[in-house]
Amino acid sequence: MQTSRTWWGQRFIAALEKFTDTARLARGRGYANESRIKSWRLTDHRVSARMRGNTNPYFGVTKEPTYQTTITLKPIAAGDWAKLINYLGRRAAFVSRLLLGEMPDNIETPFAELKQHLLPQGRQDISTSCSCPDWANPCKHVAGLYYFLAAQLDQDPFLLFELRGLSRQELQRQLEHTRLGAILAKALQEDVVNLEPVSSFFERPQPLGSATPPEVAPLDYWYAGKRLPDTLDQGEQGVVPALLAKKGGDFPPFWPKSQSFIATMELIYAQVRKSKKAW
């Protein structure tokens, strides 16, 4: 089952819960996986999917049905997008992160200031359809596609822009035409490093030239003129909390909980260090 684990996917579901029957929405959790969603695609501001239904001999359904399910978000008008791009392009904190492919945590702030919103705020922002016989909205297939879409937003929150009518490529192009965006885009191009192939992965030994090291007598080698100190200062060992745990990422496959595995392990390591100091 695919469910959202990061805050973008969770924000999307939380926004839906404000105007959707949470009980019916929860029914879709079991449908948000590849065994149920046979195929899906995102076209403009619409997500469409072919979803497997259930057989039900009681109602005469003996062959597994396939339903066509769609979710459509209301696009933001081109004029409003122009105002948003102009607003974002005059603020370095936003334009820099967006051009670097990072979604700012507070991206909804400029939308709110211009009387717009990125996430759906009501039924007027989103429409759905499904070919199944369930008349209620959302049916479990629509709800399953909601959760599946939330999982996709975990991987790429920029899908929200496309669902609102602006693709990632068009967003970047328009930002690069703003004053700050043009400066940053030029700087990013200058930082590009031209890679050159090498003949070996290892550094080859270089000759020392004509100078040869003087011969050293065996006794001079083993018994130096100056004695080394009996003890050496070890210095203070650097502490990197949960270094090994960080290799697995925030949500490794074996970690079923919703909170970050790295944050949990850092707390445990910190407690262990305190206990050792107390000894």
For residue 197, is it within any domain?
no
In a domain, 40, yes or no: yes
Angle at 189 between CA 192 and CA 171, to 5 degrees: 125
- Residue 131 covered by a domain: yes
Flag whether 271 is in a domain.
no
* Residues near 116 by beta carbon (within 8 Å), at least 6 away in sequence: 76, 80, 84
- Residue count (the chain): 279
Q: Which helix (H) or strand (E) holds 43?
A: strand 37-43
Residue identified by tokens 């403009």 is 44
Spatial separation of the C-alpha atoms in residues 144 and 237, rounded to whole Å: 50
Q: Judge whether 268 lies within some domain.
A: no
Angle at 42 between CA 38 and CA 44, to 5 degrees: 155
Per the domain annotation, does 253 fall within a domain? Answer: no
For 54, residues 6+ apart whose C-beta sits below 8 A from its C-beta are 61, 64, 65
Query: How far, in Å, are 7, 66, 167, 194 from residue 15 at the CA level?
Result: 12, 28, 22, 45
Q: What are the φ and ψ backbone dihedral angles of 39, each rounded to 5 degrees?
A: -160, 155
Q: What is the pLDDT along the chain (279 residues), one digit of tens a residue?
A: 444 456 788 888 889 999 888 888 888 888 888 788 999 999 888 999 999 988 777 767 778 899 999 999 999 999 999 999 999 999 988 998 898 888 888 999 999 999 999 999 988 999 999 999 888 889 999 999 999 999 888 888 899 999 999 998 999 999 999 988 888 888 777 655 677 787 777 777 777 666 666 676 777 767 766 666 777 666 665 555 556 667 777 777 777 777 788 888 888 877 877 776 555
Is 109 within the bounds of a domain?
yes
Domain that holds residue 90: 7-190
Supply the pTM of this predicted model: 0.63
Q: Looking at the 3D structure of the chain, how many domains does it have?
A: 1
Domain assignment present for residue 129? The answer is yes
